[in-house]
Amino acid sequence: MTAKERNDYFYVCALIEYIARGTLNHRGDIVKAIGEEGIKKLLHDAEMDHCLSFEQVSDEVISYYKIKKGNFDTISNCKYSIPSFLDIGKLYSIMIEDCAKQGEEVQELINIFSSFISDKISEFNTDLYYQNPDYLEWSYRDGKLLD
């Protein structure tokens, strides 16, 4: 993956996290609503969208893909420090780069955000986000949290 591609994936992953928090949706629901072609378009536009606020791009994506409010609120009742949407976006982009076969990065993004690990990472009242990224990656690959 090139440096530009890394930046684009980081941006899109952070945007997905931002949208999910704002609309109270599971991250997988956001990815499903946007779809594979939409993800590809977001990646294509990422370099230009970097110049815009996350709020503006988020509003445009929510409107265009008709993303409705959900009830997956992982922030309001959180007792602990919440990682930023950028921190979470970085984690997802690293997992994609580590797990994806060359040329299959978009599908890996969809797979990761749609997997059990995404909801587990979003449980900010646990310490899962703060675990070693390798632990998260191998748990994802194994399909369950490792003992």
Q: What is the mean pLDDT of the chain?
A: 95
pLDDT at 68: 97
pLDDT above 70: percentage of residues in the chain: 100
Q: Note the pLDDT tens digit of each residue in 66-122.
A: 999 999 998 988 888 899 999 999 999 999 999 999 999 999 999 999 999 999 999
**Angstrom distances, CA of residue 16 to CA of 31, 108, 112, 135, 138:** 7, 14, 12, 22, 22
> DSSP character for 130?
G
Report the 10 Å Cβ neighbour count for 105. Answer: 20
What gap in Å lies between CA 26 and CA 36, rounded to an integer? 17
What gap in Å lies between CA 65 and CA 38, rounded to an integer? 9
Domain ranges of the chain: 3-142
